[in-house]
Structure 1
Amino acid sequence: MVRLLTGIRRRLKRMFDRIRNERMKQNVLQAIPFWIGSLLTGLVAVAYAIMFSYAEKGAEWMMHKASWSLFIATPVCFLFAWWLVKKYAPFARGSGIPQVIAAIELSTPKDEKKINRLLNLKVIWVKIVSSLVMAFGGGVVGREGPTIQIAGSIFRTINQWLPAWWPKISRRNMIMTGAAAGLAAAFNTPLGGLVFAVEELTRTHISYFRTALFTGVILAGLTAQALLGPYLYLGYPDVSHLSGWIFAGVLLTALIAGLGGSALCRVILRVMNIVGRWKVTKKIIYIIACALAIALISFVWGSSMVGSGKEIMTQTLFTNNKHVEWYVPFLRMLGSLLSFTTGGAGGVFAPALAAGASVGSVLSGWLHCTPADANILILAGMVAFLTGVTRTPFTSAILVLEMTDRHNVIFHLMLAGMVAYLVSMLVDKRSFYDHLKHRFIHEAGLEPALQPQPETPPANPSSATSTNKPDNH
């Protein structure tokens, strides 16, 4: 294998050495790693999405055909998902977004080997298998966060495999582009991927790597669309003929959903702190108890209370059954708490959207809304709850906008995101991902090496490379 790779690298070098225009040669060589990473991200994201769908269908089949089996299957699945992560890739647990953010912050030469614990090939397969097992067991988890860590690992690995003669490419920019491409491919939301990179991942000026970022998101999204078609994650809900008072309903929904999202994260973090101090035997008992609780919720209240929650979103948005019972948001939040704290792999993006949709649905029933008004409250709840978790109001609004293609309500969604952001700050000044990022940095023993690195813009602001920044190799 090593000999084969060496031979390929030599042939590539001879081929590119024939290019006489040095500037064109450098630009092409700089772009190729991003192209390859984006194509691979799109392919892996599609395959992962298909497998995740089958895993959820398997769980749904058990719930409908032999619901009693969940009391056996769910504990076994949760334990296996936890063991797989603990045994082979401890930093593959949970969502994956905090690991990517930590890797971006730590993209310096002296942290090179330590970052490999957060993003590597082993993380990819452990993340996929563990989250699929969680989904098959009825866990309230999503695939979007895991897709972001998977994509970051793909781009990171490609960057490591570049030969010594290749133009140096910023590791930080490779990881950020991979994460944005992963989100775009997972949700089929290219604008959401771009905004997510700027609002959550970089928090720097986009001109430093805009060409690479746009290219990565576009190629990953096109690859996913080429295989799955130009689909919408949800569809086209009716939001026409809205009432004049609906902004008041949006404000109320955003207030409650934003507080709910941030409060849920606060509870999850506290439970994780407690469970993290336990010995293995006590942790196993806790995992089994959580799994049995998930099985009981499914057995009593049905399949819509577990899983990623897409069923609730589609039911409330696209059927006449728009108003769920008051306890549904609490069950969805409880399911996320029980699933996320067990230590397996799985994201919170989709479960957060489902919990927010249920909040909007409950309020629309209490306010006796028309179908169109109910839909806007459901969408506002999705944006607000996700904002409460991530503290990224614009990313949340753009994601929901692209999932539904309802551009006429963009101001309603942005209002919901901003209100949720403000009220969530009352619960906790830092986001869920920020807390988890510092947790992973602490567990990896990276604090001593963590020093703020100044970002020096390259000579060409649209370039993805930098020859004078400290995070290059």
Structure 2
Amino acid sequence: MKYRFIRKNLKTIRWVQKIEGIVREYLKTRFDSIANNKLKQTLLNALPFWLGALLTGVVAVIYAKLFLLAEQGTIYLYNLNKWLFFAITPLCFVVSWWLVHKYAPYARGSGIPQVSASIELANPKKYHLVSKLLGFRILLIKIFSSLVMVFGGGVVGREGPTIQIAGSIFKKINDLLPEWYPKISKKNMLITGAASGLAAAFNTPLGGIVFAIEELTKTHFSFFKSALLTGVIIAGLTALNILGPYLYLGYPTVNHLSWWVIFPVLIAAVLSGYLGCSMTRIILYVLKKKSVLQTNAKKIAYGVVGGLIIAALGVLINMEAFGSGKELMQTALLTDNKYVEWYVPLLRFFGPVISFTNGGAGGVFAPSLSAGASIGSFVAEWFQLNGSNANLIILCGMVSFLTGVTRSPFTSAILVLEMTTAETTIFYLMMAGLMANLVSSWVSKHSFYDQLKEQYMQEVDHEEVKA
């Protein structure tokens, strides 16, 4: 009896073990299936962002090298015969405008407002309008028009255009995805593209991330942080591996700062922030008045006059009236020539106004930084500052002027910090940015890019209605 009971229990145990084995095997199979599907889904979602970031890094490097060659061409011609610019600059202004006017009207200007407008339009009802603001043709015209402009001495930068170029790359990739592909947020693609473009242009990954959060979107960061981070990293690493390790501006000395330097910092911040915002107001005013020029002949005449003014400033006063101003910043920060002539801030202030309103492609990021550097240099001379103290004032002027233009104080501070690795100045830079933001908000309620963004959205909507 006892033996029968044990045998029965052993049989039950074997059945239980067999059932447990079947269940375990089933659960393992299901778990592996879920894990594999999840991995596949994650990879499929990530691949477009990775490809876009890789292409952005490559194109940004090529564009940067071409832009540098164009600026070097300007210097070569200036040394050869500076009077040539009275013919070359007006011609380049007209050609730069004509390329945009003829082939891609929305390639004009900076590119940041176009990307911001595209992000706003990235919904099922209006996404078709984004093709007017981002695309392969816009990418090409953006590059060629800005290169022609800067070769002629135009006061424009490549950073804003790089952001529109990157947005165009990411949009094209998203549009080419097949029907069976997992749905990817169009808005997240554009945001990541813009951030990747800025990171590759300046070699500032943190700046790209902060720019995306502060300037481009109101979407909660948690919804797209993985795509954004990987996009910025890949684009930045691509540019870094092609160009090698570099800083946009170099390694200025910022050690052993005086305790009282905070006072000239505040003065530079207020002055630069006010002038940065004022410059954008003048640009918007001129663009509004220029809109009455309906015929191409009048627009060409505007370009010729603008080109002659820039040529006269560069030839008759100082060559620092030409180009993005990167050399000016490096000279002020990295050499003993800390002070600029009294008229240089005026040249750097009015140069972008004339160049930007011409209607060709080109941004105001780098020109704003150089204008801020010249103002900071001027303030440093007022207080007879040298060495590290003068460098700090110049850096704060750069942050403040850019903040006056963009209303993005944290982006401005992080960008300048990453361009120079001046970690010890971070609190001064952030304070300057916040002070400049306060002053510029008092001067004008809305930022430069926001106002241009609204104009672009109205334009594409108006074209849609007319069509």
Q: What TM-score do the two structures reach when normalised by structure 1?
A: 0.90
Q: Which residue of 2 aligns with 1:8?
A: none
Shift of 1:67: 0.5
Among 256, 278, 298, the alignment partner of 1:282 is 298
Give the secondary structure class of the aligned counterpart of 1:444: helix
Shift of 1:448: 9.1
Q: Which residue of 2 aligns with 1:61?
A: 76
Which range moved further: 299-308 or 146-155? 299-308
Q: Which residue of 2 aligns with 1:410?
A: 426
Among 350, 353, 363, the alignment partner of 2:366 is 350
1:278-318 Cα deviation digits (max 9, x unpaired): 12222211110000011111102232221000111011111
Instruction: Give the counterpart letter for 1:444 in structure 2.
Output: V
User: Is residue 309 of structure 1 aligned with residue 319 of structure 2?
Assistant: no
Among 382, 402, 413, the alignment partner of 1:386 is 402
Question: Do the aligned residues in 2 keep the contact of 1:359 with 1:381 (CA within 8 Å)?
Answer: yes
- C-alpha separation in 1, matches of 2:202 and 2:35: 41
Q: Which residue of 2 aligns with 1:364?
A: 380
Shift of 1:447: 10
Q: Which residue of 2 aligns with 1:105?
A: 120
- C-alpha separation in 2, matches of 1:277 and 1:118: 23
1:375-425 Cα deviation digits (max 9, x unpaired): 000000000000000000000000000000010110000000000000001
In the superposition, relative to structure 1, how do residues 317 and 226 fare at CA in structure 2: closer, same or farther (>3 Å)? Answer: same
User: Is residue 374 of structure 1 aligned with residue 394 of structure 2?
Assistant: no
Q: Which residue of 1 aligns with 2:193?
A: 178
Q: Which residue of 1 aligns with 2:356?
A: 340
Q: Which residue of 2 aligns with 1:429?
A: 445
Instruction: Give the counterpart letter for 1:139 in structure 2.
Output: G
Question: Do the aligned residues in 2 keep the contact of 1:19 with 1:25 (CA within 8 Å)?
Answer: no
1:20-31 map, 5 Å: 21-31=36-46
Instruction: Give the counterpart letter for 2:86 in structure 1.
Output: F
Q: Which residue of 2 aligns with 1:13?
A: none
Give the secondary structure class of the aligned counterpart of 1:445: helix
- C-alpha separation in 2, matches of 1:303 and 1:81: 21
- C-alpha separation in 1, matches of 2:430 and 2:223: 27
- C-alpha separation in 1, matches of 2:431 and 2:130: 37
Q: Which residue of 1 aligns with 2:8?
A: none
Instruction: Give the counterpart letter for 2:53 in structure 1.
Output: S
- C-alpha separation in 1, matches of 2:464 and 2:355: 32
Cα-Cα RMSD = 1.4
Structure with the largest fraction of helix: 2
Q: Which residue of 2 aligns with 1:323?
A: 339
Question: Do the aligned residues in 1 keep the contact of 2:146 with 2:362 (CA within 8 Å)?
Answer: yes
- Percent identity between matched residues is 57
1:194-225 Cα deviation digits (max 9, x unpaired): 00000000123100000000000000000000
Q: Which residue of 2 aligns with 1:241?
A: 256
- C-alpha separation in 2, matches of 1:216 and 1:247: 37
1:241-292 Cα deviation digits (max 9, x unpaired): 1111111111000000000000000000000000111122222111100000
Instruction: Give the counterpart letter for 1:293 in structure 2.
Output: I
1:3-402 map, 5 Å: 21-279=36-294, 280-402=296-418
- C-alpha separation in 1, matches of 2:206 and 2:301: 43
- C-alpha separation in 2, matches of 1:448 and 1:200: 27
- C-alpha separation in 2, matches of 1:359 and 1:20: 58
Q: What TM-score do the two structures reach when normalised by structure 2?
A: 0.91
Q: Which runs of 5+ in 1 are unaligned?
A: 1-17, 450-473
Which range moved further: 117-126 or 271-280? 271-280
Give the secondary structure class of the aligned counterpart of 2:126: helix
- C-alpha separation in 2, matches of 1:20 and 1:210: 22
Question: Do the aligned residues in 2 keep the contact of 1:63 with 1:302 (CA within 8 Å)?
Answer: no
- C-alpha separation in 2, matches of 1:302 and 1:59: 13
- C-alpha separation in 1, matches of 2:39 and 2:339: 59
Q: Which runs of 5+ in 2 are unaligned?
A: 1-32
Instruction: Give the counterpart letter for 1:361 in structure 2.
Output: S
Give the secondary structure class of the aligned counterpart of 1:233: coil
- C-alpha separation in 1, matches of 2:207 and 2:235: 13
Instruction: Give the counterpart letter for 1:90 in structure 2.
Output: P
Question: Do the aligned residues in 2 keep the contact of 1:441 with 1:447 (CA within 8 Å)?
Answer: no
- C-alpha separation in 2, matches of 1:313 and 1:249: 19
In the superposition, relative to structure 1, how do residues 125 and 19 fare at CA in structure 2: closer, same or farther (>3 Å)? Answer: farther
Q: Which residue of 1 aligns with 2:27?
A: none
Which range moved further: 58-67 or 407-416? 58-67
Which range moved further: 196-205 or 142-151? 196-205
- C-alpha separation in 2, matches of 1:359 and 1:112: 42
